[in-house]
Structure 1
Amino acid sequence: MGGIQLTNLDVVLIIAYVIAIYGFGLYFARHTKSTTDYFFSGRKFAWWIIAFSMIASIVGSYSFIKYSAAGFTYGLSSSMSYLNDWFFMPLWMFGWLPIMYYARIVSVPEYFERRFDRKTRLMALIFISLYLVGYIGINFYTLGVALNTLLGLDTFVAAALVSVGTAIYVFSGGQTAVIMTDLLQGVVLLAAGLAIFILGFDYLGGGSLLAGIENFWNGLPQSHRFMLADFNQPSKFHFVGVFWQDAIAGSIAVYFFNQGILMRFLALKSVHEGRKAIVASLVVLFPLAVLAVGNAGWLGAAMHNLGMIPEAYANPNPKDVFVVVTKILVQPGLFGLVMAALLAALMSSTDTLINATSAVVVNDILKPFAWPGRSDEEYLKLARWISVVAAGVGLSLVPLYMSFKSIYLAHATFVATITPPMAVCVIMGFVWKRMTANAAFWTLLGGGFAVGFSIFVPDVITPFAHGVSDEGGFKYMRALYGLVVSGVIGVVVTLITSPKKSDEEIKGLTLSSLKQAEQDFKGAVPVNKKVGRVVKLQVQVVPPQPDNGLSLHPDDLAVMSADVGDMIYVADGRWYLGGLRAAHAVVTSSDGEQGVVKIPSNIVHENNLLPEKGVRVEKLL
């Protein structure tokens, strides 16, 4: 496609919107003062900020282009991928999240060393790095496709331009900038996507929404009306393949070892907030996102079947269908705004991955191996430059993804190839205390080798293929093959080897020791499970204290059901900031005036608290 004609108003709005988003993110980058801020935003955000920011990070990445293409080609069954994340959620909510949070682990490779040994950490580091950089490449490729459709730019040139802009943004910002930008993007994307759906009904109905809904359904080909794809055909899109590649391997990858998503949840103020964020995402936001990202493809299929696509856009390439349908339905100006939101959201997803890659390099290569013992300021400077390098490496993968027939197929192939050994190792590692370091290492190495071998000899996947045709080399079913082979290796090697670490050494790192993990997170004082209320207090700034603790009046502590020694959360009195100005602290004394909390000046300064605004205080543990 040679590019869609944009009006001057469209161009102005696209430029203005992208500049505004950059400015919005960089404004919040002022809060980045350390590597903890750069990677984890100080672990202080409320659930609703993370839930909405997840939309831009997960839904807003390649989804509009990818799922519109799948919806145009296969119909409503394209929604399967967004509605199958719940399989492992109980295990994630009540197992993996509290382990990572309470153990104060900053990366998945670090978990592998603490749970197993250093060589397993290095092996996990290889897989995580390939996963993150591969995802960065997928996102740049998607952006290139979008700009190729919009402006007629060469796909790789367009991806290169975007990579430069994204690298500059992440260099300057960090996790706080990413989260706050993605919060805005999540709201905008849902609104834009759902607006397109409504406009589509209006278009199909000639101004009547009810008639449009009826015409939409009648216009969908019969094969497009099913929510589930055929069991094992066609080879490019089928139920069993999407289940194993996306619902199982893909979901484990996203929630259990995608460093970007992990960092997002570790930026929350507590484990409980993380559970609320994921429930809100799965129950409310992701179903809305299914409608937002897939409807252009469904509308396009109905419009094409009814002969309602203008001749200028007749027979669109599935990769272009989102942009084409939006252009048909949306007026000039508003079209530019929708496209700007799409491009900026794609960049939001990519900056999450780039920031995560930087975190892995700093925390898993520089600090423990290559450059230990340096100051936090030095690591922060390096983290910014590593972000630039990560963007460049991701860009180098774009030509590889361009060789695939669709974005969906490119993504599916990538997930099915990279994730199975890590998925098995992560789940078995924290669920099965008996799993040994040798088993973890050989699961990764042997599983990775087996998956790589299947690329050159795809016939080995045939016994696992559920009757799927070998056309295209089993790009989906490789996930099941990899999961089974890796699982067998993990079980067999565990049974024939002995653990290197004692139960005491892995305390808090497995499901069986979660209570101990929570206690270790708090410290010597027993965990306080009593339910209390949030109190709003005035602030009295006091000089730095030896114990760096806070002092509250006994009556205020009673309302919170808190005691001296408990861990509390202190946030700006304005709830809508969602933790942007907040801190964790410990109650070290109960004196002073009722309605007033004494906070050391260093805590006020380090966490950007504004004493004149008051604070909201709640007990955590």
Structure 2
Amino acid sequence: MEIQAFGTLNYVVLVAYLAVIMLVGVYFAKRQKSADDYFKAGGRIPGWAAGISVFATTLSSITFMSIPAKAYTDDWTFLIGQYIAIAILPFVFIYYIPFFRKLNLTSAYEYLEKRFDVRMRLFASISFMLFHVGRIAIITYLTALALMPFVDIDPLMIVFLIGVLCIVYTFMGGIEGVIWTDVIQGIMLSGAAVLIFVMICFNVDGGIFEVFSLSAEENKYFPADKMSWSWTQSTIPVLAIGFFFSSLQQFTASQDVVQRYIVTDSVEETKKALVTNAKLVACIPVFFFAVGAALYAYYTQNPQLLPENFNTGGILPFFVISEMPAGVAGLIIASIFAASQSSISSSLNSISACYASDIYSRFGVEKTAEQNLKVGRIITVIAGTLGVVASTYLIMSNESELWDAFNSLLGLMGGPMTGLFMLGIFVRRANANSAMLGVVAAVAATLWVRASTDLNFFFYGAVGTLTVVIVGYLAAPLFKSNKEEKEIEALSM
């Protein structure tokens, strides 16, 4: 397929976006006086901004492009995941946010040492850091890979524009800079989804009515054959279970989201953040699926516009570059960059928070706030550089399968991490040794299920989480608790 010329005006729009993001980082750099500023923003973030940040953080560029492709080629069943994420929020409000706010944590995994011991804290923190370095590489690589066939920008330049500039503004602005750039990026993502949908509808004969009626005729919403139970297929009940545990992991055990709970000045503002996120999640992803439906209608009416043997996974950037006016196309591509950078910058700052809190400050002599700030910035650069180097290697060697397998194995730690927090908060009798046994059993069970069964991968989170809780509960009487009973009561339900 012939690569489309990106055009001068599109370049101007993209460069303008990148310049604004860099200026935000420069502006907030002057406020970064201590580790508390760098990792908690000194509690200065309003709830609505933290909420937009959570939304932008959890929506990567891969999601931005893959959801329309999913709706174009298949159906809307994955939309259920967005509403599962909303449904768990009351549970998070009641049982998790008070813990994180009361303990005034920098790293979410500090709680695991207070409740259990340092082994649990290190397991969770190191798992998180390794997974997110891999996540940075994968997001950068797949974004470059998705855009390569459609724009005349060198893939290594795409990696530089996404990764290196992200390192720079995260290094300078800390979590405050990250959140306010997330606000810009979240607005761009939302606006781009609505804009694309409206523009496609204007180009479809019959307009919006034809878009939705054609999808209904083709049974592309929630097909009846997806309603049944299955152990191996991604049917709706399986998706509901999978998204429940993945959302639980994200909102209760993942530093990049949990960190947003402590950047506001009160519990009320923190809850406002999650309400804002819920409103966005309830509305904006529907437009991503609607874009896929609109693209399906458009190219059904105009099949000659698609190249022969076209890979429909790139249907969104193909339409943007080939059909949208100059300038508007640049804005949409900038939104794809924004989706990448919002996820990567959050990963960078949360990795540095985990290292500074769980390793650097935890061991050795007591560290000053200035030393923690310096180390946090150094780790931001190191983690970002590792991600950029890894994504560059993947582009040059085309060996994505090996990295995907590695990233998948690290991702299996999400279930055990979620289980540890559930065990600590809800199972009073659990202790450090029973928790350790639960984690070992969960990792072993999840790896065995992955290697030896055909169980759908959406069940992996449930297997990991529930194994930790069940084994941790049953094994507790076998060990003498190394915490005083009153300490455990203070840190559990």
Distance in 1 (CA, whole Å) between partners of 2:375 and 2:261 is 24
State yes or no: 1:452 paired with 2:447: yes
Distance in 1 (CA, whole Å) between partners of 2:40 and 2:289 is 32
Deviations 1:307-353 (A, max 9, x none): 32553556542331221233355311111012112202321221011
Distance in 2 (CA, whole Å) between partners of 1:154 and 1:485 is 46
Secondary structure of 1:90's aligned partner: helix
1:343 maps to a residue whose letter is: F
- Residues 386-395 or 190-199, more deviating: 386-395
State yes or no: 1:441 paired with 2:436: yes
User: Which of 363, 383, 398 in structure 2 is aligned with 1:390?
Assistant: 383
1:174-185 equivalence runs, <5 A: 174-185=174-185
The 1:38/1:156 distance shift into structure 2, 3 A limit, reads same
Distance in 2 (CA, whole Å) between partners of 1:414 and 1:320 is 27
Deviations 1:529-575 (A, max 9, x none): xxxxxxxxxxxxxxxxxxxxxxxxxxxxxxxxxxxxxxxxxxxxxxx
Contact 2:433 2:479 in 1 (8 A): yes
User: Which of 506, 512, 521 in structure 1 is aligned with 2:488?
Assistant: 506
The 1:327/1:134 distance shift into structure 2, 3 A limit, reads same
1:147-546 equivalence runs, <5 A: 147-151=147-151, 158-159=158-159, 162-205=162-205, 211-220=206-215, 222-226=218-222, 229-231=226-228, 237-248=234-245, 250-282=246-278, 284-304=279-299, 306-311=300-305, 313=307, 316-369=310-363, 371-395=364-388, 398=391, 413=408, 417-455=412-450, 457-459=451-453, 465=455, 474-506=456-488, 508-511=490-493
Distance in 1 (CA, whole Å) between partners of 2:3 and 2:488 is 57
1:560 matched residue in structure 2? none
2:426 maps to a residue whose letter is: V
Contact 1:412 1:476 in 2 (8 A): no
Aligned residues: 487
RMSD of the alignment, in Å? 3.0
Specify which structure has the higher proportion of strand.
1
- Residues 355-364 or 90-99, more deviating: 90-99
Deviations 1:464-513 (A, max 9, x none): x4xxxxxxxx43333333334333322221243332212332354223xx
Secondary structure of 2:134's aligned partner: helix
1:587-602 equivalence runs, <5 A: none
Structure 1 position 261, deviation (Å): 1.1
TM, length-normalised to structure 1: 0.72
- Residues 47-56 or 135-144, more deviating: 135-144
Identity of counterpart residues, as a percentage? 24
Distance in 1 (CA, whole Å) between partners of 2:4 and 2:406 is 26
Distance in 2 (CA, whole Å) between partners of 1:236 and 1:73 is 17
1:112 maps to a residue whose letter is: L
Specify which structure has the higher proportion of helix.
2
1:10 matched residue in structure 2? 10
Structure 1 position 151, deviation (Å): 2.6
1:534 matched residue in structure 2? none
Contact 1:425 1:440 in 2 (8 A): yes
Secondary structure of 1:476's aligned partner: helix
The 1:425/1:499 distance shift into structure 2, 3 A limit, reads same
1:88 matched residue in structure 2? 88
Deviations 1:210-262 (A, max 9, x none): x31221123326231228845467967432442233222x1122111211111
Contact 2:140 2:162 in 1 (8 A): yes
2:53 matched residue in structure 1? 53
Secondary structure of 1:506's aligned partner: helix
Deviations 1:51-88 (A, max 9, x none): 22223212355321231222222222231222211343
Secondary structure of 1:41's aligned partner: helix
Give unpaired runs (5+ residues) of structure 2: none
Deviations 1:388-441 (A, max 9, x none): 111233346547897679x9x999956862311111111121122221111212
Secondary structure of 1:246's aligned partner: helix
Contact 1:53 1:184 in 2 (8 A): no
TM, length-normalised to structure 2: 0.89
Contact 2:107 2:255 in 1 (8 A): yes
1:488 maps to a residue whose letter is: I
Distance in 2 (CA, whole Å) between partners of 1:234 and 1:197 is 35
Secondary structure of 1:494's aligned partner: helix
Give unpaired runs (5+ residues) of structure 1: 206-210, 466-473, 512-621
Query: Quick one: higher RCO (CA 8 Å, sep 6+), 1 or 2?
Result: 2
The 1:422/1:441 distance shift into structure 2, 3 A limit, reads same
Distance in 2 (CA, whole Å) between partners of 1:334 and 1:166 is 23
Distance in 2 (CA, whole Å) between partners of 1:322 and 1:410 is 27
Contact 2:36 2:42 in 1 (8 A): yes
Distance in 2 (CA, whole Å) between partners of 1:343 and 1:49 is 20
The 1:134/1:142 distance shift into structure 2, 3 A limit, reads same
Distance in 2 (CA, whole Å) between partners of 1:317 and 1:484 is 39
1:143 maps to a residue whose letter is: T
